[in-house]
Amino acid sequence: MKQFFQISILSLSFFVFALTSVPAADLAIYSGPTNPGWISQDAAIANAEAIMNDDQMKAIFESIENYGDGDEVGSDSPLGKWMQAHTGNGQQDVFIAASGTAPSAIYQFPNVDPDDSNIEKFIEDGNVFINVADWILYMSYEGGTRSANNGADGAANVFDIPGLSFGNRGGPAVPTDMGEKYLPSLVEFQSDRPWHLEQFDGTDWEVTAFAVSNNDANSADPAVAVNTTYGGIIAAMWQKAQPEWEGDDPRASGVIEFIANWLMENGSIATPVEPQDKIATVWGKIKSDR
């Protein structure tokens, strides 16, 4: 009886693992030409490769694509087609701007489509956009040349918050309780482009700050916003002009933690196959059979 019980426990553990979730999301990363003052090309490529090769990311995502130079020009580009194909497909997918820029595949510069850009439609479909390095959606560097700037209007248009700014202010960002919980490697750093939290008051965005300035409670970085109307998610993280990060680069390791910890808990990138109460019932039955 004891041996049977032990085998049953082992079988249940595999049963729970298999039925709790399956990969139900796709990930695209853009590591194309960078603004070299924000993040070096080598760093962007290395960070993209670190994310792609991480065992947790491989387990979470059904597919991972990395788009680079030449893949990002216009809606008909490979990246543009990926984003359009992953809008309205019935699942929550993730796009990471590892270069910190906004190529025309996702947002045609300079603010050609203030409404209904590819990235805005992607987010309004309930998907996830993660930006690192500097001011989110500020400009593109595709082809190795700086584009006309979207400026502050790029982010303002996609968030639908007129006048939204990520301008430099505040002292070093110190991890919050949420930061310590979900981003355990997060350490204090000086952000160049923090979130201005007061600008989200009264909007349909709910912001979670993982680190807040030590002298300005309304300045945060990294942080994530969830739209309470349509469920889209935007994370702007480590928005600092630093071509090479000293030590472990959080623009890779921190993004991995964000996805594996916060997004897995708060998003829908993993689809439950069996409800948890059914698993509990099975567990209770095995215990009753002892």
DSSP 176-198: -HHHHHH-TT---B--SS-EEGG
Q: What are phi and psi of 253, to 5 degrees?
A: -65, -40
* C-alpha torsion angle, residues 17, 18, 20, 26 (rounded to 10): 110
Q: Quick one: average pLDDT of 224-234?
A: 98
Query: In the predicted model, is pLDDT for residue 269 greater than 70?
Result: yes
Yes or no: say if 282 and 15 are a contact pair by the CB < 8 Å rule: yes
**Model pLDDT, residue 271:** 63
Neighbour tally for 45: CB within 10 Å: 18
Supply 122's token pair.
């992607």
**Model pLDDT, residue 17:** 39
Q: How far is CA 84 from CA 81, 118, 232, in A?
A: 5, 7, 15
Neighbour tally for 8: CB within 10 Å: 18
More confident residue, 20 or 45: 45
Cis peptide before 33 (omega within 30 of 0): no
pLDDT band at residue 226 under the 50/70/90 scheme:
very high
Q: 52-62 pLDDT, tens per residue?
A: 999 999 999 99
3-state SS, residue 122: helix
**Model pLDDT, residue 23:** 74
Q: What angle do CA 102, 107, 109 make, to 5 degrees?
A: 85
pTM of the model: 0.87
Q: 11-22 pLDDT, tens per residue?
A: 444 334 334 556
Q: Quick one: average pLDDT of 266-272?
A: 81
Q: Quick one: average pLDDT of 64-82?
A: 98
**Model pLDDT, residue 191:** 98
Rounded CA Rg of the chain? 20
Q: 120-163 pLDDT, tens per residue?
A: 999 999 999 999 999 999 999 999 999 999 999 999 999 999 99
Burial class, 53, CB count within 10 angstroms (exposed 0-12 / middle 13-18 / buried 19+) = exposed
Q: 167-218 pLDDT, tens per residue?
A: 999 999 999 999 999 999 999 999 999 999 999 999 999 999 999 999 999 9
**Model pLDDT, residue 51:** 99
Query: In the predicted model, is pLDDT for residue 283 greater than 80?
Result: no
**Model pLDDT, residue 22:** 66
Across the chain, what does the average pLDDT equal? 89
pLDDT band at residue 44 under the 50/70/90 scheme:
very high
- Please, what is the end-to-end C-alpha distance for the chain in angstroms? 7
For residues 9 and 234, what is the distance between their CA atoms, to the nearest angstrom?
40
**Model pLDDT, residue 34:** 98
Query: In the predicted model, is pLDDT for residue 237 greater than 50?
Result: yes
**Model pLDDT, residue 5:** 37
Q: Quick one: average pLDDT of 16-29?
A: 70
Query: In the predicted model, is pLDDT for residue 63 greater than 90?
Result: yes
Query: What is the percent of the chain with per-residue pLDDT over 70, rounded to a whole number?
Result: 86
**Model pLDDT, residue 24:** 85
For residues 110 and 85, what is the distance between their CA atoms, to the nearest angstrom?
24
More confident residue, 256 or 14: 256
